[in-house]
Structure 1
Amino acid sequence: MADLKTIEDAFDFVQEVGICTIFSGKARDVQSLWDAVDLPDSDGQTKWGQRVEAVWAWKTELPTFYPDDIFYGKIKGGHAVLMSMEYFRETHYPKHARPVSSCRELAQQVYEIVRLSPGTTAEVRREAMDRFGCSKSRFETALKELQISLNVVRLNEPDLKNDTWVPFEEVYGELELEAPAQ
């Protein structure tokens, strides 16, 4: 399926493929939502055009409007992805969930900030930089590691304007998930 024009088309696409990157077509064996959208690169409400506007909105709206059906996260390589909850439960989680204790030290420290006081990227970054003296780049790497290892997730609330990070179990703790392979 391709030629996506609506959020409903995008929903069906994610359900069909199981997992897709948002913009990047560089993740091995993973289709890209961007490549499947058939909207003009111009004529949007902003200078970015309809295609960028749609994909940018859908990456947030899909997991917000369909929290029981769509998961947003990051995969190895730092690629942002959407995946069906079926794919997430059966394939992704068992293969990629890791305890926070297996993450690098800065990632563990950032996790503690999020665990004690969930916040926006800017809020968590500011606290991490102040407390641990890390650079913005090192912080971004740590946050990415926490997303890839399924220790933190973006809170999918309709009124949020900025990415807000919470511990994974706060959003998905009730899901019946198989324990990850050790």
Structure 2
Amino acid sequence: MKSLFIKYKSVIKFILTFLLVYTLLSVGYKLYLQFSDGSKFYPDYFTHLVALQTENLLNSFGYSTQVLPHPDEPSMKVILKGQYLARIIEGCNGLSVVILFISFIVAFSGKLKTTLFYILSGSILIYVVNLLRIVVLSIGLYYYPKYKDVLHAVIFPGIIYGMVFLLWVFWVNRFSKLNIKDV
């Protein structure tokens, strides 16, 4: 048994580090959601921010858009050209994807400065791509409402998770201290 632990030490370290960081960040995010004051930023600050930025981008692209608090649930309604298209919920703000990204990068850490820079730049990239994803999804829902399920459940999650996967691969191949052959 000891020889297995020695042989797979780097794999075990990766898994335990990933789980620890993911759990800590997820619990912190859950506490943030639990204690966020929805009176000023509804339903929470980050979801509200994503909704307002979605509205601003859609308006700047020439689509008359309004984003309003949903009266019956903790979400923001996206109204494009007078048509209620979608709602932006907490899961749309991209923070759970960022938590997943950070957990992997920390588990496969490199030099401290490089790791912190990559976490920051990767998180910003994920945030921006997620915001653009919501904007393009809103436009897609306006023009192609019959493809709502495919757009929302397949294509756009594939884009965001595919990008995260590519960021991970790039990190492991370029900056990680762990040799990929060790894992």
Q: Give TM-score scaled by structure 2 length.
A: 0.29
Bigger RCO (CA 8 Å, 6+ sep)? 2
More helix per residue: 1 or 2? 2
Larger radius of gyration: 2
Q: Give TM-score scaled by structure 1 length.
A: 0.30
More strand per residue: 1 or 2? 1
